[in-house]
Amino acid sequence: MRRIPLSRRSHVTGFQTLPVLGATEHESALERDFVTLVTFRDPGARILSQPVTISFREGSASRRYTPDFLVHWTHAGSELFEIKYRADLRVQWPRLRPAFLAARAWACERGVAFRIATDRGIRGPLLENAKRLLPLRSAPIDRDVSDFLLGVHGMLPQPTFGSLVAAVPMDRSAVLGTLWRMIARGEFRVDLDVPITFRTQVIRS
């Protein structure tokens, strides 16, 4: 079990509560990517690392299982997650299946969904966009450039990333930086499930 700073672990029959204060801990690159994706999708989501340890029986043997994360979404309830690479999941499935069934039962009793998230679902264009845009949400923005972009957007028939940059008669690097920040803040919307290019359609929020 991983060490979680600034927390106390209390033992309870059947499961163990692991409150996380401060930063969410993760053990693997895939878990890190999962946390990045959740934070990007829902900035208000609460992510608890290794939130419970579930005790269950498999035949005559007593076993314990600790899922990776519990996510409390801002407007969509809560979900308990196991994070696994698909290759590992295939190899370990016979051993993991009873634990996953126990986790599903535990979650169902508490009105929580249990999910298995793999690299196929976590990694892709959305994650790459999240990695680029997340740091820009709190970055300073040039309001003169952003106001110009908003005005130009209203005059273009089908604004794209490239046409917006080309239409603003200001320093190109400043325009690019401001446009990325406006997308990150949600002032402009784009399809985040595909790579953002100069041909990407840009919609005003």
Give the residue carrying structure tokens 């208000």: 44
Note the pLDDT tens digit of each residue in 50-74.
999 999 999 889 999 999 999 999 9
Kindly tell me if the per-residue pLDDT of 21 is higher than 90. no
Domain spans of the chain, in order of start = 10-123, 135-204
Cα 179 from Cα 181, distance rounded (Å):
5
- Using an 8 Å Cβ cutoff, are 95 and 124 in contact? no
Note the pLDDT tens digit of each residue in 126-173.
999 999 999 999 999 999 999 999 999 999 999 999 999 999 999 999
**Range 180-187 average pLDDT:** 97
- Residue with more model confidence, 19 or 157: 157
Kindly tell me if the per-residue pLDDT of 2 is higher than 60. no
- Number of residues assigned to the chain: 205
Model pLDDT, residue 34: 97
**Range 17-30 average pLDDT:** 56
Residue of 43, 41, 35 lying closest to 68 (CA atoms) = 35
CA dihedral 36, 41, 46, 47 (to 10 degrees): -30
- Tokens encoding 77: 């309830």
Q: Classify domain 135-204 at the CATH topology level.
A: Arc Repressor Mutant, subunit A (1.10.10)
Q: ∠ at Cα 106 (102, 108), nearest 5°?
A: 115
- Residue with more model confidence, 66 or 11: 66
Cα 85 off chain centre by: 16
